[in-house]
Chains A and B, each alone.
Chain A
Amino acid sequence: MLDLTAIRADFPILQRTIRGKPLIYLDNAATTQRPRSVLETLQTFYTTYNANIHRSPHLLGQEATELYEQAHANVARFIGAEDEREIVFLRNTTEAVNLVGVSLLRPESGPLQLRPGDEVVITVMEHHSNLVPWQALCRQAGLTLRVADLREDGTLDLEQFAALLGPRTRLVACTHVSNVLGTINPVAEIGRMAHRVGALFFVDGAQSVPHMPVSVREIGCDFLAFSGHKMLAPMGIGVLYGRRELLEQMSPFLYGGDMIADVTLEGATWNELPWKFEAGTADVAAGIALGGAEDFRSGRRLLGAIDYLEALGMEEVRAHEQALLERLLEGLKGMPRLHIYGPEEIERRGAVVSFHVEGANPYLVAQLLDDEGIAVRAGGHCAHPLARRLGIPGTVRVSPYLYNTPEEIDQFLAVLEEIVRRRLP
């Protein structure tokens, strides 16, 4: 059981009021809030350790480098990666998808290069970040993009999925948890299907890694991407995990400083992993605020978002969210005019519930909730093809996190009921 009073005291923003009403923040699938410890780490980095990494000969630069590298190692541990060299810090999940796609199109990736006629398989429930890059890259390089469909209950149709795979399939990219439906996809099984036909398997973990224990070893994926800002870390820091032997063969994504070993006027050789993929000055402070690190000279610990999550325990975070989901779904089911999307079973859902109020614009519903201090998201949720597939203009999306309370869910349900029964046309 999470100690919600103590947890909420760690998040300064939760003290805010919105138009005089206590903020009820239920838009965590868009971005989460940050605990004081993470904010303090940003401050401590800039007040005590700020220097550029991997190039400064002074102690300050050495300390910054050590802290940043340790943050990579902590992220590796958090997702069960064997080697910190498999962890690339980027801006976000979107950048990670672009890295993999662009790199795999380049001849420098050798045998891994995707060539005209090759096929990439995704699903209809992908976020735009795991869809638009593949669309563009397939168009540019003459690849074929195939899209796996849903069943009525909002889960993937695995039989149809299997039928899309074949000898020309080179890459399967799939979200772990749908940011609209909440569906948890059986990624380990999909990974085995992809590997059986010799394809690489990319997992979008943006909605799973923040909410449940996720292990790349257990999934057996080749790549996993996620964003720090959806898991208590600052905006602008994200992670790509890639199997080492693949990253070693792959072409760099961006070219410039820090990603090189040596440069002549004629050309350059690349730095070792993961720096080959981290061109230019990175957001070092945000990286440390994600992974956490310790100054082994002074014993000072810079707490990262991962430290916060590990101290709570990911199993406990998941259990807490499931209890909230159960309460939420139960309450929504009793309301008139409401269509709830995604699987009915709590076990098959991440921390996302989307619904549509018949005849009502989802933006209007969200606005009326906002009037009462309740923050939710409305619209297509960066997954427009999915809304089209469901045949609706969009949904209202409620996404709780570890600091939300059962009382907040009850308050949300009471306000929504009032809106649905009395205030909507």
Chain B
Amino acid sequence: MKLLLIDDERDFIETMEKRFKFRKIDVTAAGSGAQALEILGREEFDVAILDVRMPGMDGLDTLKEIKKRHPLMEVIMLTGHGSVESGARGMSLGAYDYVLKPVDFSVLLDKVEMAYERKLLNVAKNA
């Protein structure tokens, strides 16, 4: 599985990267929505973890763009200040889940795996 982490918070990215790598998951980090789109233009990923609040292109705009260009990739939204409205919007834009920070790593890992399974099912269906 290839995982893309999109967050502007360096500390968060670093610990997450470490923990996913420890689980033998191939993880790449992007510091902004624009950078994520650029990376996605070159390489294919299965699941993305996307922070909602980022300077510049925010999480929801990034999600919209990602789903337009890479509809099969699953996206888990992470947010520290979740509002119901943004959650409803994120889900209707095709997010897999909308999770409040701080999130327990094992719970997040579980979600990533479920999202990955969904991606595989979707790929099989579209084959």
Asked if A and B are interacting partners, one says: no
Partner-A contacts on B (CB < 8 A) = none
